[in-house]
């Protein structure tokens, strides 16, 4: 069993433009491994041997939460796909949006503080998290440095340390290992705090870094597999785990599917 907990797709009618815009914003330092559509993701999963993927949309402006839910409702269903929702903390209708998403069966919400332009531990954002917790939803966060927004600290490790304390016991996932290339800080401030971490986009660098490996060693029950598809190749990431000579068979199983099953019903 392989579950990719961190993937992205776009509506068919904007996928090509969305992919090209992101690549342009990164000045060509990024490439896409799918065409950004649901069909492209499913084909990638087939090629990589991935059984299930979680799709993580982001409401970049107030009001997009409703549109995201309508898009999910209108999208073709697949037993291999689980959608999370997203709301913007500045949206006055976030309570209704979260309730609607929970009633439709969505199990979590994705937040990207830098793209959404809010400090992750702001008062307004915390009110949204409190509402999500009423429905036992997973809160899935972009965490740490984003190369497309290098001066933004809205998703800093320090801010997440405050959040982890205030929302201890909640189902919280911090993407990109909690903070790209800040492994010691993540271990010091967030290690053994009950936060989950994914390896999306950063697996290649983490596996060669002693500090990252120590973060994993001390928190192996809280690391989950994710790729950030289309921005990373699912097949390559699966191979990195399967061919690893530093992970035991039990650790591979935890990373590839067992740990995420503690958060999401499949």
Residue 216 · residue 206 · CB < 8 Å: yes
Residue 28: the pLDDT is 78
pLDDT above 70 as % of the chain: 100
Residue 25: the pLDDT is 85
Residue 101: the pLDDT is 98
Residue 150: the pLDDT is 80
- Count of structural domains within the chain: 1
Residue 88 · residue 95 · CB < 8 Å: no
Q: What is the pLDDT of residues 145-157, one digit of tens each?
A: 887 788 899 999 9
Q: What is the pLDDT of residues 17-30, one digit of tens each?
A: 999 999 998 887 89
Give the pLDDT band of residue 183 (cuts 50, 70, 90): very high
Burial of 86 (0-12, 13-18, 19+ CB in 10 A): buried
Mean pLDDT, residues 128-144: 98
Give the pLDDT band of residue 179 (cuts 50, 70, 90): very high
Q: Residue 136: which CATH number?
A: 3.20.20.140
Q: 58 is in which domain, residue-wise?
A: 3-262
Q: Give which of 225, 265, 249 is closest to 50, Cα–Cα.
A: 225
Residue 145: the pLDDT is 83
Q: Using the predicted structure, report yes or no on whether residue 193 has a pLDDT greater than 90.
A: yes
Q: Using the predicted structure, report yes or no on whether residue 238 has a pLDDT greater than 90.
A: yes
Residue 236: the pLDDT is 98
Residue 114: the pLDDT is 94
Q: Using the predicted structure, report yes or no on whether residue 178 has a pLDDT greater than 80.
A: yes
Mean pLDDT, residues 85-109: 98
The average confidence (pLDDT) of the chain is: 96
CA distance 218 to 140: 21
Backbone angles phi, psi at 17, to 5 degrees: -65, -40
Mean pLDDT, residues 219-234: 98
Q: Give which of 199, 128, 116 is closest to 154, Cα–Cα.
A: 116
Give the pLDDT band of residue 61 (cuts 50, 70, 90): very high
pTM of the predicted protein model: 0.97
Q: Give the rounded distance of the alpha carbon of 97 from its chain centre.
A: 20
Residue 94 · residue 128 · CB < 8 Å: yes
Q: What is the pLDDT of residues 120-131, one digit of tens each?
A: 999 999 999 999
């Amino acid at each position: 069993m392989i579950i990719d907990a961190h993937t992205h797709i776009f509506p068919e009618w904007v996928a090509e433009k969305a992919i090209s815009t992101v690549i342009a914003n990164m000045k060509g330092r990024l490439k896409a491994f799918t065409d950004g559509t649901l069909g492209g993701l499913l084909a990638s999963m087939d090629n990589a041997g991935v059984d299930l993927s979680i799709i993580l949309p982001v409401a970049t402006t107030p009001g997009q939460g409703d549109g995201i839910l309508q898009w999910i409702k209108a999208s073709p269903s697949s037993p291999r796909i689980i959608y999370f929702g997203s709301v913007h903390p500045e949206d006055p209708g976030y309570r209704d949006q979260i309730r609607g998403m929970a009633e439709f069966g969505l199990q979590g919400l994705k937040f990207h503080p830098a793209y959404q332009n809010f400090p992750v531990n702001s008062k307004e954002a915390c009110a949204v998290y409190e509402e999500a917790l009423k429905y036992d939803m997973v809160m899935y966060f972009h965490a740490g440095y984003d190369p497309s927004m290098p001066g933004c600290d809205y998703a800093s490790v320090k801010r997440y340390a405050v959040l982890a304390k205030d929302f201890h016991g909640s189902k919280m996932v911090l993407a990109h290992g909690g903070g790209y290339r800040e492994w010691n800080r993540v271990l010091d401030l967030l290690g053994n705090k009950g936060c989950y971490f994914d390896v999306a986009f950063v697996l290649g660098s983490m596996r060669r870094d002693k500090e990252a490996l120590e973060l994993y060693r001390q928190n192996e029950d809280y690391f989950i597999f994710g790729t950030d598809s289309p921005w990373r190749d699912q097949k390559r990431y699966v191979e990195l785990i399967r061919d690893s000579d530093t992970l035991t068979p039990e650790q591979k199983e935890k990373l590839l599917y067992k740990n995420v099953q503690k958060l999401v019903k499949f």
